[in-house]
Amino acid sequence: MKSFLALPWVDRAFVPVAGTLVFLLLAAVFFQLNGYAPLQIFSQMVQGAFGNAFSTNTTLSKTIPILFCAMATALPARMGLVSVGAEGQLYFGALTGTAVVLAITAAPFWELFPAALLLALLGGALWGAIPGVLRAALGVNETIVTILMNYIAIKIVEYAVYGPWKDAANLGWPATIAFPDAAKFPSLHLGALSSNWALVLAVLLAIVLHVLVEKSRWGTGLSLLRSNPRVARMAGLSYTRHAIAVMALAGSLAGLAGWVQAANVQTHLQPDISSGYGYIGFLVAWLAGQNFLRIIPLALIMGGLLSSGDALQLFAQLPFSNTLVMQALLFISVLGVGAWRAKHRSVA
Amino acid sequence: MKVELIDISKRFGPVQANDAVSLEIGEGEVLALLGENGAGKSTLMKVLYGYYRADSGQVLLGGREVDIASPRDAMALGIGMVFQQFSVIPALTVLDNLLLAYPDAPLWHGRGNTAKVLRLLAEFAPGVAPQRLVSELSVGQRQQVELVKVLNLDARLIILDEPTSVLAPEEVQRLHAVVRKLADTGRSVVFITHKLEDVRACAHRVAVMRVGKLVAQADARGMDAAKLVTLMVGDASLKPVAQTAPPASAVARISLRNLRCSTESLSLEGIDLDIAPGEVLGVAGVSGNGQDLLADAATGMVNLQEGDVLLDGEVLHSRDTRQPHDARQGYIPEYPLKNAVAAEMRNSLNLALRGLLRLPLFPRWAKLDARADALMERYDVRPRQSGLASGRLSGGNLQKLVIARELSEPRQFIVACYPTMGLDLHATQAVYDELFRQAAAGAAILWISEDLDDLLRYAHRIAVLYHGRIAGVLTAGEADRVRLGHLMTHGEAA
């Protein structure tokens, strides 16, 4: 048994496989206790997430912001910064991108889209850089600052869409004008599946970041800063500069999520452009152990869980809060198994 | 209480740390446990203390076999250990620390307990006032509090893990007296050490370990130093260090000019020192007088409030610019695990750290591994695994790793803080050889040490640091223990 567990591929697959099994077991117990047949619910959940083109498309559209937000969390974590700020960066990126749309609404795609995307990136970067600066210059805890700044960003967006940016034609509804197609990520069709190019961008970025973080001098520098900032100084790395740059870069990733949510999903700037994707991304990043490749499938699973929640609510009359319970169970199972494994491996 | 260890074996991955070691410790006996770095001394004692589980072997207490699964079990059986890293809480008073560690501590302490806890403090550490904060105590005093904590648990066997490596000379003598007193009151003591003076001052018996095995045991009383050295290092005799000639040039290679900087507890108040090419400038002082801050300031690791560091007349560090990564300087800081390596990262990376910024964006890691293998071979870092996380190395091997990184390339300016701490005699000689080779090639060396004998033997000049300032600089000719001691304790010449 021990030697089997020591095989490299078994070792690597142990936590995901055992974690999933524990999760399914816990979820089955949960449904059983609530008077549902677990197997039936599971099959409905899979149907709801990937059963047909419509549900798969829904899943994909939820996967995109989760993927960006998970990357926005994982990147600072590589240098030891715990950021919970993807939600706020998403909102602020959407806000700054929207400013471009409102300023040059009639511009053609090749002007409007890059300009809006760039501003969304910069907005997210700014929202990320502020806690980075506070951390580096004053030693203020970045976790607290990022959480608090989430509320500020959401409030600013609310102010904009209830106030100066509200489209009068909307009557009472707090939202801007509908965005022209020229502001959106171009759509992408593959058979019955449809999504947009943000999905491709997100996956590509995850792969590029994976290579950079795992193989490059830069990624090694980040690990060094996480392991021992003092020693990093002996290597010529500045904690201050890295903290600010990494937080800004992470913020810009969340800003991308903001733009795809505002432009492609809602097609307006409005108060609820994110269904907590920043926080779900945080969970995904930590479930994946800050590994950018592992983030991709986990984001897809999380997206599936969310869209199956919608489906269960509609068809099985299950309250949506079940989805939250499922998320929590998944988190507990994978982290619990991971911790158990780490403890027993170090003893072995 | 007689303790017998029988055939203890313990393996960590590829390393056989203990290989069927049998050892006896008699009642009221002080056993000095000697051996090179990584010989397995600490491992053996941590097995006895329940910190590690042995792979095989038995422990007998008073002839009866016992199972020690945790330090808690060990303490219940009367076995206590004082580690190199203390576990006293600096923000609390001595009394609070002792009460916290008292067995079955109640939620609320009455007067009765206080008296009980303090009885042993008065006996073994009469100079330590119970109401003082631990943060105000010297290292030696903290160690005494740590020891009393262990004694309060009715320890009959006390294990001291290299207790003198952190102490100033007069504190060492105080510790020796305490150890003798422990033995006189019927307690047994295991004294892990590298230092011959510890053995001569208080050991009854010596046991020597090498590469996981117990290789020699002997009665220590009346044994002469030469025999002890032979016991410790085997047959290889120590070659004398080739001391470099005093520098010919009067022009400074490195100048510290009016360095001022501060931390919460201490500040440097205008340090002025010039070191010529090839000169070894020793810095003596009782620990806690600003040694670490001086080293950090001279190497640009901390912000300077005033002053600058000049290398061949050019500014290397000042208020505005700091270049702690400059390849012309080498720095061996105190406490390598905390100050000189990234514990979670592989040895090859820790060795390549100085040139990290000069690597291409995608470095050829295999090349770095190969380079690391060669360096670890040359500097005898064990285990010789370039992929191992540096935090897994033992203290002495970690020190060698840092020395390999800092001294394997030619430098102009070297700051070495206690560079031989935790090293056995062989490794110590090797470090001095490297340092003096750098000096011979023209490097200026700032060498911070508490070992007056070594300073007197090897340094060209000795500066004494006292309360963050230079109390005096003596040349090799005029320095002696009395003069240095006076400067170290009074801050001025006699």
Q: Select from B335, B345, B367, B414 the residue whose CB has the most chain A CBs within 10 Å, as the one to mutate to test that interface.
A: B345
A57/A153 Cα distance (integer angstroms): 29
Point out the least confidently predicted range of A324-328, B233-237, B442-446. Answer: B233-237
Q: Which residues of chain A are within 8 Å of residue B360 when distances are taken between CB atoms?
A: 217
How much is the ipTM here?
0.84
Chain B stretch 363-402, residues whose beta carbon is closer than 8 A to a beta carbon of chain A: 363
Tell me whether residues A234 and B343 touch, CB distance under 8 A: no
pLDDT digits (tens, 9 = 90+) for A283-328: 999 888 899 999 999 999 999 988 888 888 877 778 888 888 888 8
Nearest to B325 among A215, A223, A236 (CB): A236
Q: What is the mean pLDDT of residues B152-161?
A: 90
Which DSSP helix (H) or strand (E) runs through B21? strand B15-25
What distances in angstroms separate CA B175 from CA B25, B166, B169, B191, B197, one per listed residue? 20, 11, 10, 11, 12
B359 in contact with A, Cβ within 8 Å: yes
Return the structure tokens found at B259.
């360095």
Tell me whether residues A223 and B345 touch, CB distance under 8 A: yes
Before B383, cis peptide (omega within 30)? yes
pLDDT digits (tens, 9 = 90+) for B13-61: 767 889 999 999 999 999 999 876 678 888 999 999 999 999 999 999 9
Tell me whether residues A217 and B363 touch, CB distance under 8 A: yes
CATH topology of domain A58-342: ABC transporter involved in vitamin B12 uptake, BtuC (1.10.3470)
Phi-psi region of B104 (alpha: psi -120 to 50; beta: other; left: phi over 0): left
Nearest to A217 among B331, B341, B360 (CB): B360
Report the 10 Å Cβ neighbour count for B176: 20
Q: What is the mean pLDDT of residues A95-115?
A: 96
Per-residue pLDDT at B108 = 65
B349 in contact with A, Cβ within 8 Å: yes
Q: Phi and psi dihedrals of A197, rounded to 5? A: -65, -10
Long-range contacts of A166-170 (CB under 8 A, 24+ apart): A167/A268
Does B234 have pLDDT greater than 70?
A: no
Q: What is the mean pLDDT of residues B105-109?
A: 63
Three-class DSSP category at B164? helix
Tell me whether residues B339 and A237 touch, CB distance under 8 A: no
Long-range contacts of A14-18 (CB under 8 A, 24+ apart): A14/A337, A14/A341, A15/A334, A15/A337, A15/A338, A15/A341, A16/A334, A18/A337, A18/A341
| Per-residue confidence band for B425, with pLDDT thresholds at 50, 70 and 90 | confident
pLDDT digits (tens, 9 = 90+) for A226-273: 999 999 999 999 999 999 999 999 999 999 999 999 999 999 999 989
Nearest to A217 among B301, B324, B359 (CB): B359
A293/A279 Cα distance (integer angstroms): 19
Tell me whether residues B342 and A232 touch, CB distance under 8 A: yes
Per DSSP, A179 falls in state P
B207/B211 Cα distance (integer angstroms): 14
Q: In chain B, pLDDT over 90 holds for what percent of residues? A: 47
B360 in contact with A, Cβ within 8 Å: yes
CA of residue A100 relative to chain centroid, distance: 24
Q: Select from A78, A226, A228 the residue whose CB has the most chain B CBs within 10 Å, as the one to mutate to test that interface.
A: A228
B226 in contact with A, Cβ within 8 Å: no
CA distance B312 to chain A (A): 21
Question: Pairing between strand B267-275 and B15-25?
Answer: unpaired
A174/A165 Cα distance (integer angstroms): 9
Dihedral angle computed from the Cα positions of residues A179, A180, A186 and A191, in that order, rounded to the nearest 10 degrees: 90
Structural Rg of chain A based on CA atoms: 21
DSSP B181-248: HHHHTT-EEEEE-S-HHHHHHH-SEEEEEETTEEEEEEE-TT--HHHHHHHHHTTPPPPPP-PPPPP-
CA distance A179 to chain B (A): 41
Question: Nearest Cα to A241, choosing from A79, A57, A17?
Answer: A79
User: What is the number of CB-based contacts under 8 A between chain A and chain B?
Assistant: 66
Per-residue pLDDT at A14 = 83
Tell me whether residues A217 and B361 touch, CB distance under 8 A: yes
Q: Which residues of chain A are within 8 Å of residue B338 when distances are taken between CB atoms?
A: 228, 230
Chain B stretch 298-317, residues whose beta carbon is closer than 8 A to a beta carbon of chain A: 301
| Per-residue confidence band for B105, with pLDDT thresholds at 50, 70 and 90 | low
B343 in contact with A, Cβ within 8 Å: yes
Tell me whether residues A233 and B324 touch, CB distance under 8 A: yes
Better-scored residue on pLDDT, A72 or B173: A72
Q: Which residues of chain B are within 8 Å of residue A234 when distances are taken between CB atoms?
A: 301, 324-325, 331, 340, 353-354
Does B443 have pLDDT greater than 70?
A: yes
Are A150 and A281 a contacting pair, CB within 8 Å?
no
Q: Which residues of chain B are within 8 Å of residue A231 when distances are taken between CB atoms?
A: 339-342, 350, 353
Does B237 have pLDDT greater than 50?
A: no
Question: Pairing between strand B30-35 and B205-210?
Answer: parallel
Nearest to B356 among A221, A227, A228 (CB): A221
Cα separation of the two ends of chain B? 49
Question: Pairing between strand B56-61 and B3-12?
Answer: antiparallel
Does B242 have pLDDT greater than 60?
A: no
Burial class of B120 by CB neighbour count within 10 A (0 to 12, 13 to 18, 19+):
middle
B10: which strand partners?
Answer: B18
Tell me whether residues B344 and A227 touch, CB distance under 8 A: yes
B478: which strand partners?
Answer: none
Tell me whether residues B344 and A216 touch, CB distance under 8 A: no
Return the structure tokens found at B97.
């620390």
Phi-psi region of A165 (alpha: psi -120 to 50; beta: other; left: phi over 0): alpha
Q: Select from A223, A231, A233 the residue whose CB has the most chain B CBs within 10 Å, as the one to mutate to test that interface.
A: A231
Q: Which residues of chain B are within 8 Å of residue A238 when distances are taken between CB atoms?
A: none
Q: Which residues of chain B are within 8 Å of residue A227 when distances are taken between CB atoms?
A: 342-345
Most confidently modeled range among A201-210, B11-20, B335-344: A201-210
For chain A, what are the domain ranges? Answer: 58-342
Return the structure tokens found at A141.
């805890």
Q: Which residues of chain B are within 8 Å of residue A228 when distances are taken between CB atoms?
A: 338, 341-343
